[in-house]
Amino acid sequence: MEIKDILKKYNFRFNKALGQNFITDGNLLNAIAADAEVGKDDVVVEIGAGAGTLTRVLAEKARYVYAFEVDRALQPVLDEVLKAVDNVTAVFSDVLKMSDEEIKNIVSGPFKVVSNLPYYITTPLMTRFLESSLPVTEMTLLMQKEVAERLTAKPGTAEYGAITVGVEAFADAAVTRIVGRNNFFPVPKVDSALLRLVIDKNKYKIDDEKFFRKTVKCAFLWRRKTLANNLKNMFSFTSQDCEKILSECNFEPMIRGEKLSVNDFILLSSVVKKYLKNR
């Protein structure tokens, strides 16, 4: 039976607020699994199983799939679509409300995240996994094209922001394909891109991850202001302190946060920390 007929059979009503735009095209589903490099040894966590089309393809390629879905109305649909595979557990829960411990109790050992994301949770979901203690090795995420562009932007561009630095600091990110809006149903208002993030927490030497993130956040807090102004506001430094900090980092006095690379931010956060300690 076609997915559309199965949805009809269970009287399923799409919930726009949950970002429900499903994919049924077999070639595209296989391409997503291939880009995520899912293989027989992999445990996959899928966020937002929907009607289970991607779940089923992932299950055919992976060792095991844990498919999280917040909408219980999809349970009978998933039961039917997934009855041909025996290596999937569907978990009906809001993944953003689960603690690391709760997830670890369900998924043991390292895993890859694969998701046709509900757009409204792209950033919180990505950050939730990137900043967690969970043993996630990779994330392959279908997201709004413009967001993927922002996440892979270069310093000095309008798209470059705190989230770009957060991704670049802890992962290798690349867009593997653009997916036009007509590949989804219902058809959304935007095109998508598939972004693959291979997590590498040791890519840079960042001693204090929490303080590094705080410094990055500070630099982009008021985008139109100079870095010195943002440092003053966030850490209550004097103008003289800021001058010294920027000079110690070898930055121009009027520099803005968007010009800084990850290495610049590592240097800046260690100098700021030192000044805070000696104040």
Taking the least distance from each CB to ligand SAM, the nearer of 98 and 267 is: 98
Per-residue DSSP letter, 39:
-
Chosen residue from 42, 59, 66, 69 binding ligand SAM by CB under 6 A: 69
Chosen residue from 70, 81, 136, 262 binding ligand SAM by CB under 6 A: 70
Does 22 sit near ligand SAM (CB under 6 A)? yes
Does 71 sit near ligand SAM (CB under 6 A)? yes
Distance in angstroms (rounded) separating the CA atoms of residues 180 and 156: 28
Chosen residue from 28, 62, 68, 160 binding ligand SAM by CB under 6 A: 68
Taking the least distance from each CB to ligand SAM, the nearer of 74 and 266 is: 74
Does 21 sit near ligand SAM (CB under 6 A)? yes
* Count of residues of this chain found to bind ligand SAM when the rule CB under 6 A is applied: 23
The residues that bridge with 198 in the sheet, in sequence order, are 138, 172
User: Ramachandran region of residue 11, left (φ > 0), alpha (ψ -120 to 50) or beta?
Assistant: left
Chosen residue from 49, 58, 194, 219 binding ligand SAM by CB under 6 A: 49
Closest contact distance (angstroms) between CB of 142 and ligand SAM is: 7
- What is the contact mask toward ligand SAM in residues 83 to 122, using x (rule: CB under 6 A)? -----------xxx-------------------x-x--x-
Chosen residue from 43, 54, 81, 260 binding ligand SAM by CB under 6 A: 54
Give percent helix, percent strand, percent coil of the chain, each to the nearest 5: 45, 20, 35
In the three-class reduction of DSSP (H, G, I as helix; E, B as strand; rest coil), residue 82 is classed as coil
212 and 272 in contact (C-beta within 8 Å)? no
264 and 246 in contact (C-beta within 8 Å)? no
Q: Count Cβ atoms within 10 A of the Cβ of residue 59 and give its class: 0-12 exposed, 13-18 middle, 19 or more buried.
A: buried
Taking the least distance from each CB to ligand SAM, the nearer of 50 and 161 is: 50
Instruction: Measure the N-to-C terminal CA separation of the chain; round to a whole number of Å.
Output: 69
Taking the least distance from each CB to ligand SAM, the nearer of 29 and 246 is: 29
Closest contact distance (angstroms) between CB of 137 and ligand SAM is: 20
Stretch that binds ligand SAM, among 45-53, 132-140, 202-210, 222-230 (CB under 6 A): 45-53
DSSP string, 240-270: HHHHHHHHHTT--TT--GGG--HHHHHHHHH
Per-residue DSSP letter, 48:
-
Chosen residue from 7, 50, 140, 218 binding ligand SAM by CB under 6 A: 50
Stretch that binds ligand SAM, among 18-26, 37-45, 56-64, 216-224 (CB under 6 A): 18-26
For residue 277 the two structure tokens come to 């300690």
Q: Count Cβ atoms within 10 A of the Cβ of residue 60 and give its class: 0-12 exposed, 13-18 middle, 19 or more buried.
A: middle
Distance in angstroms (rounded) separating the CA atoms of residues 41 and 265: 37
The residues that bridge with 100 in the sheet, in sequence order, are none
Taking the least distance from each CB to ligand SAM, the nearer of 95 and 199 is: 95
Does 131 sit near ligand SAM (CB under 6 A)? no
Q: Which residue ranges make up the site for ligand SAM (CB under 6 A)?
A: 18-23, 47-51, 53-54, 68-71, 94-96, 116, 118, 121
